[in-house]
Structure 1
Amino acid sequence: MLLILGFDDKQLLTQFETYILAPSVSKMSQNVVTEDKITPLSQVKTFIYALLKSKFIFDHFIIKRNMQDNKGQWTLNKLTKGEDKKNSYYKNSFENDNNDLVMLQSAFHVSTPTTNYKHWLNAVLYYAYQHYQYNDIGLDSTAYLSHIEAIARAFMLRRYLTDEPDDYHHIIYQTPDFNQISFTNTDASLTPNHLRTQIKQYLRYNNIRNIFVFNYLDYLLWKDEERPEFTFTARSSIEHFYPQNKRDDKLFINDKNVEDTLLHSFGNLCLISHSLNSRVSNDMPDVKVKYFLESKQIDSLKLSRMIKCISGQEATWDKTMIAQHEEQMLEIMMKGLNLMSEGA
């Protein structure tokens, strides 16, 4: 009930009156008899309890910044009473390792900095609210991670990489089984190669609907690389590794403006911070690599892969390299989206 409402606090009272208070008044006027009589007062109590439960779940199972250190790392901790019952401290929300949960939630979070449109948070809280158990565990971490990964796949397949994007509300609240997510309005008989072609077009510059496509790939790369030290930060600039506005451009001089130019393909794109974009935007790849390595400022794991392609090697970032990198990244993404098998 509660989590179907939006996150805009200015609409809270209006939505409460429309979706919670009004139905109870309507049922009373129709003399609807229920086992537990629904009244405005009972609805208010139910609503307040739902708010408290949601806040408790948010505090325990949603990432926060650790402001006690200078790094401000993402954490997934809960406040716990000490043995003396007087002092309290923060501990991991789950007994086992929760790094995957921290990484995926932070990947979502930095992709949508605007509070009112954190649809991922709505989806995660909706699941946690429904599955919270009143015991020492609260939520099963394995099932929790599995569901959030399913949410990520759902947003990718039904919102960001499809010809007909589905509504967030429909994805979150009307998906019967998140483990059976597929493209909307897509022929189920399509081969992996056809699916790859469809995905490619929504990963091209100016076709990208949400920067989560980069952060989701970084999450998959992080898992593929056996979880290296990496933190998701606010990066919002989509950068061409080979610059699109180079005056003496020789590589794309004949096909810079054609529809399928590799210049604007996913293989030539990376996600960096706005300040870094201002610094290196028009530099050639070798100059960018030198700056990234000297400053130790590599904003993403995809960018790190691009740097490794030419760093310390007698190789140049050309069309062949761009196409190869794109195919490698698409293969990892398609496996993460369950569109191809591990051995394919």
Structure 2
Amino acid sequence: MNKNVTPSQDQALTLLNIKALFTESAQYVIPIYQRNYAWGVIEIEQLIQDIYDVSTNDTKGTPSYFLGCLIVYERKNQPYDGKKSYEIIDGQQRHTTLCILLAYLKNELAINDDELNHLTFNLTFDSRPRSINAFKNLYTNGINCDIEEPNIYSAYNIIDRYFKTHKVNIEQFYRYLFENVKLLRITVPHDTDLNHYFEIINNRGEQLEKHEVLKAKMLSECAKDAKVRHCFSTIWDACSNMDGFVQLNFSADIRSAIFGKDWSDFPNSFADIQAHLSQSSSIQNGVTIEDIIADKRFHPIDTDNNLEKKERFGSIIDFSNFLLHVLKLTINNQTKTSQNNKMQQGDEVSLDDKKLLKQFYYSNNKLKVEPTEFAFNLLKYRVLFDRYIVKKDTENRWRLLTLKKYTNDFNYVNTFDAINEQLVMLLSMFDVSNPSSTYKRWLYRALEILNKIADKKALIDSPLNYLEKLEKISQEYLSEICKINGNFSDDKLHQGIKVHNFIFNLLDYLLWRHLSKGKRFNGLGKSELGDHFDNFQFTVRSSVEHYFPQTDPSGEKVMKNVDRFGNLCLISPSTNSRLSNYSPADKKKFYREKNRIESLKQAIMMSYNDWGPEGQGLENIKKHEEEMINILRSFMFIPA
């Protein structure tokens, strides 16, 4: 075929299931202009969770799951061992993750399945020999890490941990993945300027999102009164930008009317907001979407009309998921106040944003909530969220802040005084234990608490009450894992990588709290820990490290109970990949040279001189373990 001839429609678009993608006679190439593999725990776990959710759906038949598009260019003059050679233009992160996932399934499944046993690695790289070697290693069940490719091995460990902690039926998952997960391979014409196409792909505008479709559908349900529609739309648009404080997403001339002179007030009803908007002289000249999402920092200004320079904060949740939280809270509040106190069929709300549109409507296409009531609740919960739920600042630090208006400027101040730092620790502990945007059960509970204890101005006067109720939630989660027949059981703590992230994160929170009050562990207080205590904050750590390694390359005696809780701590996947087989002494040396310790439990473990399978090393493991478990046990039984 002449290289300038455009492929036929059949050649250009091919719908493939995963089985066909990995068994056809084709090789996929990551070209030199593509970035390195960069997916982490959030993206990988979300992919697996989405596929697993559909595979276990109770709907009739076996639904397919569409994974998206893989955009490729066929290299006619560069076949790979006689196979078709496709250069990946868009979709390499997803395709690479699938390769790692299938390597894991191939290594873990001890079944006689010709399809799986003969599965071959069909991804190569133009200029990354270490990546090629890493994949060959994985596909031959050689999962020892290569320090030059930590992200690939980290992804493998993330997958391994997810399957073990979520008790996924691995054979069922594999079969569904192979047969029912599909993607659309799009082959671009041969005369395509690939550099230009790649630039277009990476600078393309955002597609219409589900929440924008939902907004249009709900607007159509509103009264024909243009003022009502305008008020609904204004509230919705202001709340949709999650990366800041909602007050700043309203036009300057109505902020004080809606939120009071210091922006700490809250309107009484949707009608009040509508009245303020109607009185505004610039109803049609509010802040544009572009202005709202622009990344502008705050500087002191002279007039109220110029209060547009603002800090941008990272939200722990996106707008689609926030809408589902508000919907669930609204419906549950309606249920509790209704006379019959019974939920209608279809009232249950899933916090899965893939089902966003479906969740707002009954099977007869009737809305579950009245639009103006929902818009008012949306703004109320958004104000509560901004004031009392943590955000990330531009330096990636957790913050709990309130927007404060002065005469001619505004600023961000701590929401509370003495207790603010502890609330930051507790809230961020919850979030890193569930870093995905979906299924934030703790956030729903926190918003539910805030709605109960806040006054009509959406303010709470007892931060201690808020803290105690949040700690009660963490007690409940701990009990779900460790409570058996009314007693604390440590069985779930001695399971290596199967131990829940939440256990390690909760323990670090409790250690921080005890250290803050002057308690010492193995002779260490907060002064001895120094910067490791002062700079400690929760980050997304998803790899369980065995301080004494599971496989000891030095030839020393391997500890029989290597998975016991005293020998475990939670660190980042990349660090775990680098150090997994290091001895405790070498790990300690590495962390001291880097001046980096990732958890408070880890810092205490490293304070012991001996650590190992026998003698004083084993006694130290037991001592540390008993102390840590006692902290968890005592916390679980603190009276509510």
Q: TM-score range by the shorter chain?
A: 0.7 to 0.9
Distance (Å, rounded) in 2 between the aligned partners of 1:89 and 1:6: 37
Distance (Å, rounded) in 2 between the aligned partners of 1:54 and 1:274: 35
Match in the other structure for 1:233: 539
Q: What is the 5 A alignment of 1:294-305?
A: 294-305=593-604
| 1:127 Cα deviation from its structure 2 partner | 1.1
Distance (Å, rounded) in 1 between the aligned partners of 2:600 and 2:463: 25
Match in the other structure for 1:45: 372
The answer to whether the Cα contact below 8 Å between 2:380 and 2:458 also exists between their aligned partners in 1 is: no
- The one-character-per-residue Cα deviations of 1:283-309 (angstroms, maximum 9, x if unpaired) are 000111111111111000000010111
| 1:19 Cα deviation from its structure 2 partner | 9.8
> Given residue 49 of structure 1, which amino acid in structure 2 is its aligned partner?
F
* Distance change (3 Å), C-alpha of 1:316 and 1:90: farther
* Distance change (3 Å), C-alpha of 1:247 and 1:54: same
> Given residue 295 of structure 1, which amino acid in structure 2 is its aligned partner?
K
Distance (Å, rounded) in 1 between the aligned partners of 2:493 and 2:600: 20
2:600 is equivalent to residue 310 of structure 1: no
TM-score, L = length of structure 2: 0.40
Match in the other structure for 2:485: 187
2:539 is equivalent to residue 217 of structure 1: no
Q: Select which of 42, 45, 64 maps to 2:391.
A: 64
- The one-character-per-residue Cα deviations of 1:112-149 (angstroms, maximum 9, x if unpaired) are 11110221111111111222113484352101000110
| 1:21 Cα deviation from its structure 2 partner | 8.1
Q: What is the 5 A alignment of 1:111-190?
A: 111-135=433-457, 137-158=459-480, 160-161=481-482, 183=483, 186-188=484-486, 190=487
The answer to whether the Cα contact below 8 Å between 1:237 and 1:277 also exists between their aligned partners in 2 is: yes
| 1:247 Cα deviation from its structure 2 partner | 3.5
Q: Count residues in correspondence.
A: 276
Corresponding residue SS for 1:309: coil
> Given residue 355 of structure 2, which amino acid in structure 1 is its aligned partner?
Q
Match in the other structure for 2:305: none
| 1:246 Cα deviation from its structure 2 partner | 1.2
2:422 is equivalent to residue 81 of structure 1: no
Match in the other structure for 1:250: 556
* Unaligned 5+ runs, structure 2: 1-325, 330-348, 518-532
Corresponding residue SS for 1:134: coil
2:16 is equivalent to residue 16 of structure 1: no
| 1:93 Cα deviation from its structure 2 partner | 1.3
* Distance change (3 Å), C-alpha of 1:305 and 1:271: same
| 1:81 Cα deviation from its structure 2 partner | 0.9
Match in the other structure for 1:279: 578
> Given residue 411 of structure 2, which amino acid in structure 1 is its aligned partner?
Y
Match in the other structure for 2:419: 97
> Given residue 76 of structure 1, which amino acid in structure 2 is its aligned partner?
L
* Distance change (3 Å), C-alpha of 1:200 and 1:324: farther
* Distance change (3 Å), C-alpha of 1:329 and 1:224: same
Match in the other structure for 1:199: 490
| 1:100 Cα deviation from its structure 2 partner | 0.9
CA RMSD of aligned residues (A): 2.7
2:2 is equivalent to residue 2 of structure 1: no
Distance (Å, rounded) in 2 between the aligned partners of 1:140 and 1:187: 35
| 1:157 Cα deviation from its structure 2 partner | 0.5
* Distance change (3 Å), C-alpha of 1:317 and 1:304: farther
> Given residue 380 of structure 2, which amino acid in structure 1 is its aligned partner?
K
- The one-character-per-residue Cα deviations of 1:165-220 (angstroms, maximum 9, x if unpaired) are xxxxxxxxxxxxxxxxxx4xx434x5xxxx3xx22334421442x20100100001
> Given residue 220 of structure 1, which amino acid in structure 2 is its aligned partner?
L
Corresponding residue SS for 1:308: coil
> Given residue 101 of structure 1, which amino acid in structure 2 is its aligned partner?
L
Distance (Å, rounded) in 1 between the aligned partners of 2:545 and 2:616: 15
Corresponding residue SS for 2:403: strand
| 1:324 Cα deviation from its structure 2 partner | 1.3
> Given residue 63 of structure 1, which amino acid in structure 2 is its aligned partner?
V
* Distance change (3 Å), C-alpha of 1:91 and 1:21: farther
| 1:94 Cα deviation from its structure 2 partner | 2.1
* Distance change (3 Å), C-alpha of 1:20 and 1:57: farther
Q: Select which of 605, 620, 636 maps to 1:321.
A: 620
| 1:224 Cα deviation from its structure 2 partner | 1.0
Corresponding residue SS for 1:238: strand
2:634 is equivalent to residue 335 of structure 1: yes
The answer to whether the Cα contact below 8 Å between 1:310 and 1:317 also exists between their aligned partners in 2 is: no
The answer to whether the Cα contact below 8 Å between 2:510 and 2:631 also exists between their aligned partners in 1 is: yes
Distance (Å, rounded) in 1 between the aligned partners of 2:457 and 2:616: 55
Corresponding residue SS for 1:116: coil
Distance (Å, rounded) in 2 between the aligned partners of 1:6 and 1:140: 31
Structure whose alpha-carbon radius of gyration is higher? 2
The answer to whether the Cα contact below 8 Å between 2:497 and 2:544 also exists between their aligned partners in 1 is: no
Distance (Å, rounded) in 2 between the aligned partners of 1:150 and 1:66: 27
Distance (Å, rounded) in 2 between the aligned partners of 1:310 and 1:319: 11
The answer to whether the Cα contact below 8 Å between 1:239 and 1:281 also exists between their aligned partners in 2 is: yes
* Distance change (3 Å), C-alpha of 1:339 and 1:128: closer
Corresponding residue SS for 1:310: coil
| 1:245 Cα deviation from its structure 2 partner | 1.0
- The one-character-per-residue Cα deviations of 1:64-87 (angstroms, maximum 9, x if unpaired) are 1121xx4x21110011211x1x42
The answer to whether the Cα contact below 8 Å between 2:425 and 2:509 also exists between their aligned partners in 1 is: yes
Corresponding residue SS for 1:17: coil
| 1:10 Cα deviation from its structure 2 partner | 3.9
